[in-house]
């Protein structure tokens, strides 16, 4: 394992200037509990918050899935970045200038390509913006103003215009010295069958698409004429993943936090018109069905999700799909029903924000909405309609994970349908038994987060109560006793929080004394520098766990704890050597026997020299 130091001084400065609470709050809704902050983990699905951020140590740790680390680690895991990319992003945020040598060579190629693609997109955006306010964009600008958009909101969202030319961007890029292949990879150009390139976006109003951090990653285009399709989006590219991004999320985050709610709409214009009317907590998908990843991104920011889709058949289908997706992601939604066939854009322009927010306040919980829709669609069928409503609702009710929620809805729907509660309840329970796999609305089960020992249970197959095989939580394939692991963790924890004890520890310990490979690597890192500047995610997760799971080690108690842990490590090592000697004698392995005896006598001599002779006895 490479320790991966990267420009220690620069990295440490960036880390010190980064407020990890502010950084993570851009992705996760945090609440203060004592001196720390807690929220739902962004790296696994849970309904009870087990994700903790310590502002003093500038670390995060999830007691559910074991993810942990510092600000660099968080960005690497959340955004899929390499260490140099995370460092560069945080340095820019902190106002720290990075020397070029601070990047890994192995990531340089990908970083350079992504940079070229982002530059291509920014170049296109500048051209589209110039076109919109030039003479050739007057029809596009008139179209936007006719739709009720102010110049201020047009500029806020960076709207532009792609002229009705086959090679406007292609030729502009070539003249400016860009490589057209980068514009192809960025989704701006298409290849001609005969060779060369032509523009993807032509005669369209352009909608720049930014990621959650505000980086331009793609475009949407709305046809001005009769071109089809009416809306066209950038394809998937190395910098743009449709199933991950949400339109205007970077702009909506402040409003979402302020109001503790988010509105999810279908179209770009719905979002823009919402912002123009002060509903600045609105986002939209990317023209495809909402994904679980998109739903999780919103649920991490707020638990109040409002679906405001069109009331046509396509909008109804999208509503049902989105209800499913949010339920599967561990959340609930409320459904806003706009009167008539109006979409949010039209409703806001005709009725105003007051009427719109009144509809938000009256929004139905998702299960109630499904029931009301089924009731309305079958109201004309009499008794047959009741049966159809029951058939529609039984699978929905059976899949609810909350007993209270399920019981409450069963009682309410039974009363409305004038059927016995016991009857509906039996149908639901029968369905649950027959369809164990019907988990459409079930929240994911949390991992056991009740304590340290629940994470490290002895391996029953080993035949020994002393042995702990980590079962995948730790990156190690070897068996280490629970006592020894805790002693090794105690040593490392003392040294991380009290580095002045390192010299004392080095007098009696070496890397070979650590059985756990991650802890062994951490000891080596502590001898050579600071774990703060290490890129390895496994190392950072271990540091976060040690520092956040067990609390602080006071300066007064640290020397005593360190001595106790070192003594425990030695006792455990002596016991392991005794077992090795006994095994070698049984198997008549003379070489192993000789080496084990030498190691035992050497360790026993060390113990005697430090006054710990009682920890072992001569063979």
Low-confidence ranges of the chain (pLDDT < 50): 1-6, 102-104, 437-440, 442-478
494/498 Cα distance (integer angstroms): 6
pLDDT at position 94? 84
pLDDT at position 613? 52
Owning domain of residue 487: 452-615
pLDDT at position 413? 94
Q: Is there a single domain that holds both residue 541 and residue 473? A: yes
Q: Is there a single domain that holds both residue 408 and residue 527? A: no
Positive or negative, the CA dihedral 576, 577, 578, 583 is: positive
Does some domain include residue 51? yes
The three-class DSSP label of residue 614 is: helix
pLDDT at position 492? 86
CATH number of domain containing 339: 3.40.1360.10
CATH number of domain containing 212: 3.90.980.10
pTM of this structure: 0.71
pLDDT at position 617? 52
Does some domain include residue 441? no
pLDDT at position 107? 60
Which letter does DSSP use for residue 512 in this model? G
CB 564 within 8 A of CB 606: no
pLDDT at position 619? 54
Neighbours of 267 (CB within 10 A): 21
| CA distances to 300, 354, 558 from 389, in Å | 33, 34, 66
Q: Is there a single domain that holds both residue 219 and residue 365? A: no
Secondary structure (H, E, C), 514-528: CCCHHHHHHHHHHHH
| Domain closes at, from 86, 103, 120 | 103
CATH number of domain containing 57: 3.90.580.10
Q: Is there a single domain that holds both residue 489 and residue 468? A: yes
pLDDT at position 589? 84
| CA distances to 194, 232, 604 from 235, in Å | 22, 9, 67
pLDDT at position 165? 95
Does some domain include residue 439? no
Q: Is there a single domain that holds both residue 457 and residue 333? A: no
Q: Is there a single domain that holds both residue 594 and residue 515? A: yes
The side-by-side arrangement of strands in the sheet containing 262-265 is 282-284, 262-265, 305-307, 333-335, 364-365
Burial class of residue 303, CB neighbours in 10 A (0-12, 13-18, 19+): middle
Does some domain include residue 117? yes
pLDDT at position 609? 61
Q: Is there a single domain that holds both residue 571 and residue 519? A: yes
340/440 Cα distance (integer angstroms): 30
pLDDT at position 307? 97
**pLDDT one-digit tens code per residue, 556-581:** 788 888 888 888 887 887 777 888 88
ω into 229 cis (within 30 of 0): yes
74/24 Cα distance (integer angstroms): 8
Q: Is there a single domain that holds both residue 324 and residue 408? A: no
Q: Is there a single domain that holds both residue 135 and residue 89? A: no
pLDDT at position 583? 87
The side-by-side arrangement of strands in the sheet containing 68-69 is 31-33, 36-39, 51-54, 59-62, 68-69
Does some domain include residue 154? yes
pLDDT at position 542? 85
388/391 Cα distance (integer angstroms): 5
pLDDT at position 594? 84
pLDDT at position 341? 65
The three-class DSSP label of residue 262 is: strand
Does some domain include residue 442? no
Does some domain include residue 241? no
| Domain closes at, from 176, 205, 233 | 233
β-pair partners for 39: 51
Does some domain include residue 446? no
Q: Is there a single domain that holds both residue 298 and residue 421? A: no
Q: Which helix (H) or strand (E) holds 142?
A: helix 138-146
| Domain closes at, from 103, 120, 153 | 103
Q: Is there a single domain that holds both residue 261 and residue 226? A: no
Residues 6+ apart with CB under 8 A from 572: 481, 483, 484, 487
Q: Is there a single domain that holds both residue 71 and residue 110? A: no
Count of domains for the chain? 5
264/286 Cα distance (integer angstroms): 12
| CA distances to 98, 105, 383 from 109, in Å | 18, 8, 67
**pLDDT one-digit tens code per residue, 478-500:** 466 788 888 888 888 888 888 88
């Amino acid at each position: 394992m490479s320790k991966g130091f990267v420009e220690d001084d620069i990295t440490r400065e960036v880390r010190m200037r980064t407020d990890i609470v502010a950084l993570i709050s851009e992705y996760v809704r945090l609440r203060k509990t004592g001196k720390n902050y807690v929220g739902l983990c962004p790296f696994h699905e849970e309904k009870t918050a087990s994700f903790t951020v310590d502002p003093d140590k500038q670390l995060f740790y999830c007691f559910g899935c074991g993810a942990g680390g510092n600000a660099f680690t968080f960005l690497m895991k959340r955004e899929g970045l390499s260490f140099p990319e995370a460092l560069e992003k945080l340095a820019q945020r902190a106002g720290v200038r990075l020397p070029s040598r601070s990047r890994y060579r192995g990531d340089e190629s990908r970083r350079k390509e992504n940079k070229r693609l982002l530059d291509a997109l920014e170049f296109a955006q500048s051209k589209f913006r110039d076109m919109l306010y030039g003479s050739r964009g007057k029809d596009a600008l008139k179209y936007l103003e006719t739709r009720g958009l102010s110049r201020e909101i047009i500029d806020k969202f960076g709207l532009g215009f792609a002229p009705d030319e086959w090679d406007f961007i292609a030729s502009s890029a070539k003249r400016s010295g860009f490589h057209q292949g980068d514009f192809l990879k960025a989704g701006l150009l298409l290849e001609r069958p005969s060779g060369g390139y032509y523009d993807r976006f032509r005669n369209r109003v352009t909608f720049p698409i930014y990621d959650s951090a505000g980086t331009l990653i793609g475009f949407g285009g709305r046809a001005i004429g009769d071109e089809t399709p009416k809306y066209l989006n950038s394809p998937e590219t190395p910098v743009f993943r449709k199933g991950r991004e949400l339109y205007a999320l970077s702009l909506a985050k402040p409003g979402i936090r302020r109001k503790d709610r988010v509105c999810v709409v279908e179209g770009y214009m719905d979002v823009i018109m919402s912002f123009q009317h002060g509903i600045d907590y609105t986002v939209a998908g990317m023209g495809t069905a909402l994904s679980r990843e998109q739903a999780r991104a919103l649920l991490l920011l707020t638990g109040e999700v409002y679906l405001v889709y069109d009331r046509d058949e396509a909008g109804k289908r999208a509503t049902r799909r989105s209800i499913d997706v949010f339920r599967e992601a561990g959340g609930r939604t409320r459904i806003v029903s706009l009167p008539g066939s109006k979409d949010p854009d039209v409703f806001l322009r005709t009725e105003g924000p007051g009427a719109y927010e009144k509809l938000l306040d009256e929004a139905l919980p998702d299960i109630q909405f499904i029931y009301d829709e089924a009731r309305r669609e079958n109201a004309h069928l009499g008794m047959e309609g009741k049966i159809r409503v029951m058939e529609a609702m039984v699978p929905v009710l059976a899949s609810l994970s909350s007993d209270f929620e399920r019981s409450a809805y069963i009682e309410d729907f039974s009363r409305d349908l004038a059927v016995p509660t016991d009857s509906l309840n039996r149908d639901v329970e029968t369905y649950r038994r027959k369809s164990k796999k019907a988990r459409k609305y079930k929240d994911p089960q949390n991992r056991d987060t009740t304590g340290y020992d629940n994470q490290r249970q002895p391996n029953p197959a080993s035949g020994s109560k002393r042995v702990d095989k980590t079962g995948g939580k730790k990156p190690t394939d070897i068996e280490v006793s629970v006592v020894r692991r805790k002693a090794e963790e105690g040593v490392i924890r003392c040294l991380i929080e009290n580095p002045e004890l390192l010299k004392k520890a080095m007098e009696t310990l070496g890397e070979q004394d650590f059985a756990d490979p991650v802890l062994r690597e951490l000891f080596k890192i502590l001898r050579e520098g600071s774990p703060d500047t290490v890129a390895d995610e496994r190392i950072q997760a271990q540091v976060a766990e040690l520092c956040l799971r067990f609390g602080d080690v006071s300066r007064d108690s640290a020397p005593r704890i360190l001595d106790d842990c070192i003594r425990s490590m030695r006792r455990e090592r002596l016991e392991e050597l005794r077992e090795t000697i006994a095994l070698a004698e049984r198997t008549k392995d003379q070489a192993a026997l000789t080496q084990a005896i030498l190691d035992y006598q050497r360790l026993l001599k060390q113990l005697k020299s430090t006054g710990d002779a009682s920890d072992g006895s001569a063979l």
